[in-house]
Amino acid sequence: MMRASEARGVRVHVLADSGAVAACAAGIVGRACARAVETRGVFSIALSGGRTPVSLFRRLRNPKPGDVAVDWPRVQVFWSDERCVPPDHPDSNFGLAWRELFSTLSRQPALFRMRGEDAPEAAAAAYEQVVRARVAPRGGETGGLPCLDCVLLGMGGDGHTASLFPGSPALDERLALAAAGPAGASGSSHTRLTLTLPLINAARLCLLMVCGAEKSAVLHRALEVFSEPLLPVQRVRPCPGRLVALVDTAAWRGGA
């Protein structure tokens, strides 16, 4: 693993390929889980969608010697975003994680999927209530925002993350913790459900995974150029939590 930079408060690790990104992410998730279970008895993680996390799901399904085991019965699983489709639809982020990981586990976590089959606005409002009911604020502060232990995020070619697309009204949401909205040009055609920035930035750890040479230009813009309007991924600034970016060499170096 080569630590590339601490660009503007973002700890960036450059790894050989998507498999190495997955292995590193699995280690970070496993250690975060162990710490959370030891201190609070539960680990709450929000999974991102798209294809990048698949290698992580597979590593968590088939851990290798030395991997930190995840105590799944002590884990609450949420989603960073979802497409507005039923859970068995091929485009469902929940369906992808179920097929690639959770359907194979002998010891199950508690799964709290976004109900993509319901009316989007109602589904987003309902999901906020689920998160508020299940996830404690940091330090138990009353009235505080729920503090997820880990939020997995990817990044699209337009700099979107979760389902926060450039120009999306959900980007400016200050109160709701989940929102519904249209996918951006780079997203699939489905309406989306997404966690909003107040909840994402309240997390103890945001873990951003970016793989592939096609992401290189937007990755470097996200890390090096802070011009308005900021890219959605640049709005992920957890505080006091941490943002860690795991990128593969192809995304870091581009087509070079």
For the CB of residue 74, give the shortest distance to ligand 6PG in the complex, in Å.
25
N- to C-terminal Cα separation, the chain: 19
Q: Is 249 in the site for ligand 6PG (CB under 6 A)?
A: no
Q: Is 150 in the site for ligand 6PG (CB under 6 A)?
A: no
Q: Structure tokens of 115?
A: 């109900």
Interacting positions 184-243 with ligand 6PG (CB under 6 A): none
Distance from C-alpha of 48 to C-alpha of 192, rounded to nearest angstrom: 13
Confirm if 116 and 127 have CB atoms less than 8 A apart. Answer: no
Among 18, 44, 48, 168, binds ligand 6PG (CB under 6 A): 48
Q: Structure tokens of 9?
A: 């408060």
Among 44, 52, 168, 191, binds ligand 6PG (CB under 6 A): 52
Among 56, 131, 162, 218, binds ligand 6PG (CB under 6 A): 162
Q: Is 179 in the site for ligand 6PG (CB under 6 A)?
A: no
Distance from C-alpha of 203 to C-alpha of 138, rounded to nearest angstrom: 9
For the CB of residue 91, give the shortest distance to ligand 6PG in the complex, in Å.
8
Q: Per CB under 6 A, which region of 6-14, 50-58, 118-126, 199-207 contacts ligand 6PG?
A: 50-58
Q: Structure tokens of 133?
A: 């009911």
Q: Is 51 in the site for ligand 6PG (CB under 6 A)?
A: yes
Phi, psi angles (nearest 5°) of residue 41: 80, 0
Q: Is 159 in the site for ligand 6PG (CB under 6 A)?
A: no
**Strand segments (E) across the chain:** 2-5, 11-15, 43-47, 75-79, 81-83, 110-111, 150-153, 178-181, 192-195, 205-210, 242-248
Q: Structure tokens of 65?
A: 């010697």
Window 78-97: contact mask with ligand 6PG (x via CB under 6 A): --xx-----------x----
User: Which of residues 82 and 149 has its CB atom nearest to ligand 6PG in the complex?
Assistant: 82
- Identify the residue whose tokens are 């030891």: 38
For the CB of residue 125, give the shortest distance to ligand 6PG in the complex, in Å.
20
138 SS3 class: helix
Q: Per CB under 6 A, which region of 29-37, 129-137, 148-156, 234-242 contacts ligand 6PG?
A: 148-156
Q: Is 182 in the site for ligand 6PG (CB under 6 A)?
A: no
User: Which of residues 61 and 107 has its CB atom nearest to ligand 6PG in the complex?
Assistant: 61
164 SS3 class: strand
For the CB of residue 156, give the shortest distance to ligand 6PG in the complex, in Å.
4
Using CB atoms within 10 A of its CB, is residue 140 exposed (0-12), middle (13-18) or buried (19+)? Answer: exposed
Q: Can you give the C-alpha Rg of the chain in angstroms? A: 17
What is the binding site for ligand 6PG (CB under 6 A)? 48-52, 80-81, 93, 154-156, 160-163
